[in-house]
Chains A and B, each alone.
Chain A
Amino acid sequence: MAGLTGRMSTVVKAKVSKLLDRAEDPAETLDYSYQKQVEQLQNVKKGIADVVTAKKRLQLQETSLQQQVVKLDTQARQAVSSGKEDLARVALERKNIAQTELQSLDTQVTELEAQQEKLTDSEQKLRAKIEAFRTKKEVIKAQYSAAEAQVKISEAATGVGEQMADVGLAMQRAVDKTENMKARADAVQELEAAGTFDDITALGPGEDDIDRQLKSLSSKSAVDDDLAKLKGELGSGDGGGGAGQLPAGAEEEPATADPAKEQSA
């Protein structure tokens, strides 16, 4: 077959013979092959662990972003109910960015999960093949002459070698994907460090305008609440107005004191 299948077969077969040709003495094929098989199994286990680690990291980022989305949404609502549309806009913008990142992380976690499943499956298949190889070589040794046994065992080694090459391919793809995800996780971390997803009251040292506005907004509404309460207690609008004028009057005292002094002088 000259098509894709043929090309793929050629690539894998070249890989297999490369794996096996390293044993120069045919008598070493068995030992060498078995040693490579065991090494490969260990590599697959390590590969699975790497994928799991990458996945956990992305999941942690997801959790953190989900919390930010909730916080920003609450802040946007507060801002709207206070009539501060510009603040609500900032919060919603950040929320949207965080949501977009969340969706992307979600896709990637799913993809890593698929990779993990594939590798686990590959590991089981390779393990079964290696077990079969071990059994087969004993049977072959018992049934055939030394020269024939060598040929049969080499055939079996090639068969397992193909499985090994295939697992190697699955591993390489998983590693590539995991690397991409790591780069992605780094990018999200940079956005986080830059404060892209921060809630709008937590902008760090040196607070910006939005922060101050929001704080003054909440304190202003607290003052309004207190004032309304006072008005209610005193039972009349005029009384409340009079109470409000008290501090203002006190402030004016020094100013009125000076002209009084001037007048008396």
Chain B
Amino acid sequence: MIVRISGEDQYRLEESLHERLNQLDNAVLSAIDGNDEDAFNASFKELLDYVRANGQRIGDEEIETSDLILPPDDITLAEAAGEFTGEGLIPD
């Protein structure tokens, strides 16, 4: 499975790690839903660190399409919460 951290790199991760990634991702979501800034920062960092620690970085010269894309590491809770409702992080 290929995971991109936006603004950073792509990583190749074992399929077996999918479940753990899902758990970490859900923790981030519940922090967003609870509008809990500290929990958001902590859980999001944990998710990114997990990918960086367990994935193998894909070289810049390799062209791969990602299975999953994570927001950039400096995203704020407000951005994450508003990301998919309004204009979104990605402009047209």
Query: Is A159 a contact of B84 with CB atoms below 8 Å?
Result: no
- When distances are taken between beta carbons in the complex, the residues of chain B under 8 Å from A129 are 60-61, 63
Within 8 A of B (CB), among A157-177: 158-160, 162, 165-166, 168-170, 172-173
- When distances are taken between beta carbons in the complex, the residues of chain B under 8 Å from A155 are 65
> Interface extent on A, as a size class?
35 or more
Query: Is A4 a contact of B71 with CB atoms below 8 Å?
Result: yes
Consensus secondary structure, chain B interface: loop
A229 at the interface (CB under 8 A from B): no
> Interface extent on B, as a size class?
35 or more
- When distances are taken between beta carbons in the complex, the residues of chain A under 8 Å from B29 are 3-4
Query: Is B72 a contact of A159 with CB atoms below 8 Å?
Result: no
B70 to chain A: closest residue by CB: A5
Query: Is A158 a contact of B89 with CB atoms below 8 Å?
Result: no
Bound together, the chains give a CA A168 to CA B63 distance in angstroms of: 17
Within 8 A of B (CB), among A86-113: none
Q: Which 7 A-B pairs rank lowest in CB-CB distance, beginning with the nearest? A: A3-B25, A128-B60, A159-B63, A132-B61, A9-B69, A3-B29, A15-B90
List the interface of chain A (C-beta within 8 A of B): 1, 3-9, 11-13, 15, 18, 114, 118, 122, 124-125, 128-129, 131-133, 136, 155-156, 158-160, 162, 165-166, 168-170, 172-173
